[in-house]
Amino acid sequence: MVRVLILICFALAACMPAAVTLPQQSNGAVAGVATRNLVITDHPHHVLVGHIAHVRRGTDAVFALVIDQRRDGVHRLIYREAYQDGRALPYRSLHRRVYCGRDCRDRSIGMINFSADMVRRATLEGFNATLYGPDGSIDVFAPPSLFQEVLALQPGTG
């Protein structure tokens, strides 16, 4: 069930430049929110953008940082793992686009799943990680504002 939610999370949130809210359905369908995309790396040659998505179905819920590569016309980056302070993170590499919204400039390359505790901590400190793969390594940083935004978009938080 969580894998299905993760894929739906990606499908609903990929390529959206502005915050999006999906209404909760009374029939048990998927509902969720996604933040706007922000640049999350300062690498001189590669631009990675990310957004936070929160998808719910009944009592199951998933938070994820969805990481996209801004198309540069040269190559596609591939990363297979993510670490923070030497600890492996729940990272999933994405090799194809599942959904394209209003803005299709970016290619999804992966996502990091978050526990509720990780999200709460990131609202204060932001979130940093290093991605590793055949293309080497790259540091990413999602600012606290993205996590604050996804929490503010939750129903009933005005």
Number of domains in the chain: 1
Task: Report if residue 107 sits inside a domain.
Answer: yes
Q: What is the largest CA-CA distance in the chain?
A: 47
Task: Report if residue 158 sits inside a domain.
Answer: no
Task: Report if residue 81 sits inside a domain.
Answer: yes
State phi, psi for 3 to the nearest 5 degrees.
-60, -40
- Burial of 69 (C-beta count, 10 Å sphere; 0-12/13-18/19+): buried
pLDDT tens for the 158 residues of the chain, in order: 544 444 444 444 444 444 444 444 445 566 788 888 899 998 888 889 999 988 887 778 889 999 998 877 777 889 999 999 999 999 999 876 545 554 567 888 999 999 888 999 999 999 999 999 998 999 999 999 999 998 888 765 55
Task: Report if residue 116 sits inside a domain.
Answer: yes
Determine if the pTM surpasses 0.75: yes
Task: Report if residue 140 sits inside a domain.
Answer: yes
Q: 96: domain range?
A: 2-152
Task: Report if residue 132 sits inside a domain.
Answer: yes
Task: Report if residue 109 sits inside a domain.
Answer: yes
